[in-house]
Amino acid sequence: MLDLIIRFSPLVLVLVGAAAVMLADAFSDKGQSNDLSTVTFWAFVGASGGAIGLWVQGDTMALHPLVAPFLAADPMALLLDAVIAGAGAITALLAGAYLREHQMERGEYYVVMLLAAFGAMVLVHSTHLLSVFVGLETMSLGVYSLAAFRRTSPRSVEGAMKYFLLGSFAAALLLFGMALLYGATGEMELAAIATALVEGSAHNTLALLGTALITAGLAFKVGAVPFHMWSPDVYEGAATSVTAFMAVVVKVAAFTVWVRIAVVALSAANLADPFSGWPPLVMGLAVASMLVGNLSALVQTNVKRMLAYSSIAHAGYIMVGFVAYAHSAAGGDEGAGDQALSAMLLYLASYAASSLLVFGSLIWAGSKGKEVVSYEDLKGLGRRHPWIGVAMMVGALSLMGFPPTAGFIGKYYLFQSAVNVGDGLIPLVIFAVLASAVGAFYYLKLIVVMYMEDQEQEAAQAVPMRSVHLWAAIGLAAYFVFRIGIAPGNYMEIAIGAARAL
């Protein structure tokens, strides 16, 4: 029992944090201000530390048979625990700053956020269709309610409603897909499904349909085109701290579970063939996401909407790594496959850090009464408030993939892993590079607007908020952006280690 608690200490710590926040909120007097965001922050830091500790310890003992089929405590799960908890910690600080400034801080927020993160972490540990679904729904329900957290804003509620409706649709697809896969193989455990499919004892048509529906359901969660429609509305409507959480944690967890299902369960040659299986479909989704995401981001006037579309484009880039993995795995080149997987993981981490930096800077630039959401609000910001300008610029450059930031390293390794596969993927890589060139346009537009344009005289200028929480969050995010960007060596090794162990 104690062994299990230790082995899953990141999850346990997040749960304990949720309980602590709930109790603190329930038993405190009305009007008494509790710094719940700090409690949440430390719970996440603890979880992150636990994950790192477990990684260092490198325990490979078998888990208790009651848990073993459902959850794994492998290096990949631990790495993503650390990423999710780290991102959670930064978003907790952002929420502390944002919610307090805009006077909507309530204890529930942190409880729901911790529980949603718990769901995300269950998801990255899942090795069984049941736990996948439970984790996914735990995460999603939390995120639905977070999206609606700004109750007074019709946009927030509207966005959350759309997210919920379409999310239920996706969940139904996923569940149906899982049921079909179970019907085809008689198994729910990912590894056992793979065995059944490889041995040929599975029912082929059911397996195909199951794969199709699961792919569609997961594509919704990562926000791939054409399952992306919810994201701009939700990103725009939700409180910015929630948007940051969704953009990072949900995407990271959804990609991880997709990778795990595809790599472990659907790895049979007749499903994962790079020309006739799911990889070409993923390639199609990648191309569509890069195309639609980048082109739509180009014409937005609202920065949060722009970031929503750009996150769709980033999902497209990550899927390039996915395709590269499938090609190398089918070619029997394990080294290249691991490299592609690790490039995806590194990209997720660098995307998380850069997004948090940009969202943090957006939050920073506004205060009670006037938030910064559009390009118009950003005009001249870099000259009025140089530190915010620098933070936003670094974040935007990183999302764009400019050295020496994390985004550059992420894109470089990702595209390199695709080039390594051979000539077959060169057109895809060229497309991705062109797409990111289009992306450069709207990220640079942020910088241009901040430094080279002036706000009209009568327009109300946003006043930046002052919050230690926020500065800490910005500092942390900026640290990781540069840490990955300048010295990616050991992060790369950790990611390779995780990919190898999968």
Partner 1 sequence: MLAQATLPWIVLLPLAGALINGVTGRFTSKKVVTAVALGSVSLAFLFAGINFMELVTQKGAGVADARVEAELYEWFSLHIGQRAIPVRIAFVIDSLSGIMALVVTGIGLLIHIYSLGYMKEDPGFARFLTYLNLFTASMLILILGSSFPVLFVGWEGVGLCSYLLIGFWYKTPEYAAAGRKAFVVNRIGDFGVIFGMLALWVGTQSMEFQGINESVDMLTRPFMLGGVEVGSYATVAAFFLFLGCAGKSAQLPLYVWLPDAMAGPTPVSALIHAATMVTAGVYLCCRLSGVFVLSPTAMATVAVVGALTALLAASVALVQNQMKKILAYSTVSQLGFMFAAVGSGAFAAGFFHVFTHAFFKACLFLGAGAVMHAVHAHGDADVRKLGGMSKHLPTVRWTFLVSCLAIAGVPLFSGFFSKDEILLGALLGTHVHHMGWVTWFVFGSLVLAATMTAFYMFRLYFLTFSGDYRSAAANPEEEAEGGESSHDAHGYDPHPHRPEPAIAWPLRILGVGAVVVGYLGLPHALHLPNLWGDWLHATLASVGGHHGGGEAWIAMAAGTVAMAVGIGVAWQRYANGKGVPGADPEKGVARWMFDAWRIDAAYNRYVVGAMRQLGQFSAAVDRYFVDVILTRVPAGIVRMVGHVTSRAQSGLVYTYGALMVFGVFAVLVWFTSPHPSLEGVAEGNKVTWTARPGAGYEYRWDADGDGEYDGEWSRSQRSLTRTYGPEQFTSYAVHLIGPLKRENTLRIPIDGAKKIVPLSMLSGDWRNPEASTQRPPVIWVEKGTIVLRRNDASTPGLGGEEVTLTPGQRIVLGGVEARFIAQVKTKVEVRNGFGNLRSQTRSLWLKDMTPVKSHAFSNIEAKPLAQMGAHHE
Binding test (CB under 8 A) with partner 1, winner from 17, 75, 86, 232: 232
Mention every residue, 6+ apart, whose C-beta is less than 8 A from residue 82: 10, 48, 51, 52, 55
**By the 8 A CB rule, do 492 and 347 touch?**
no
| Cα R_g (the chain), whole angstroms | 22
Kindly tell me which of 3 and 493 has the beta carbon lying closer to partner 1: 493
153 near partner 1, rule: CB under 8 A? no
Nearest approach, Cβ of residue 197 and partner 1 (Å):
8
Choices 51-59, 169-177, 320-328, 346-354 (CB under 8 A): range interacting with partner 1: 169-177
Closest C-alpha to 477, from 247, 314, 298: 247
Give the angle subtended at the CA of 435 by the CAs of 498 and 303, to the nearest 5°. Answer: 90
Q: How far is the CB of 458 from partner 1 (least distance, A)?
A: 28
Binding residue (CB under 8 A) for partner 1 from 173, 320, 381, 465: 173
Q: Which of 71, 86, 168, 188 is nearest to 122 (CA)?
A: 71
Q: Does residue 226 interact with partner 1 by CB under 8 A?
A: yes
How many angstroms separate the CA atoms of 214 and 16, rounded? 32
The C-alpha atoms of residue 342 and residue 245 are separated, in whole angstroms, by 23
Structure token digits, residue 465: 């908020």
Asked if 419 interacts with partner 1 (CB under 8 A), we say no
Question: Under rule CB under 8 A, which residues in 432-471 are in contact with partner 1?
Answer: 438
Q: Are 264 and 502 in contact (CB under 8 A)?
A: yes
Nearest to 14 by CA among 60, 38, 37, 48: 48
269 counts as binding partner 1 under rule CB under 8 A: yes
State residue 71 phi and psi, 5-degree precision: -125, 145
Q: Give the nearest distance from C-beta 109 to partner 1 in angstroms.
A: 25
Alpha helices in 65-128 (DSSP H): 75-101, 107-125
List 25, 108, 137, 273, residue binding partner 1 (CB under 8 A): 273
Distance CA(441)–CA(448), nearest Å, equals 10
Single residue of 31, 65, 332, 489 touching partner 1 by CB under 8 A:
489
Total residues contacting partner 1 by CB under 8 A comes to 51
Torsion angle of the four alpha carbons 32, 33, 34, 35, in this order, in degrees rounded to the nearest 10: -170
Q: Does 209 bind partner 1 (CB under 8 A)?
A: yes
Please report whether residue 211 would count as binding partner 1 according to CB under 8 A: yes
Which residue number, 5 or 269, has a Cβ lying nearer to partner 1?
269
Rounded CA-CA distance 107/251 in Å is: 25
CB of 209 to partner 1, least distance (A): 7
Site for partner 1 in 274-303 (CB under 8 A): 275-278, 280-281, 284, 291-292, 295-300
Binding residue (CB under 8 A) for partner 1 from 11, 43, 84, 216: 216
3-class SS at 189? strand
Is 326 a binding residue for partner 1 by CB under 8 A? The answer is no
Asked if 219 touches partner 1 (CB under 8 A), the answer is: yes
Contact set with partner 1 (CB under 8 A):
161-162, 165-166, 169-170, 173, 197, 202, 204-205, 207-209, 211-213, 215-216, 219-220, 226-227, 229-230, 232-233, 268-271, 273, 275-278, 280-281, 284, 291-292, 295-300, 309, 438, 487, 489
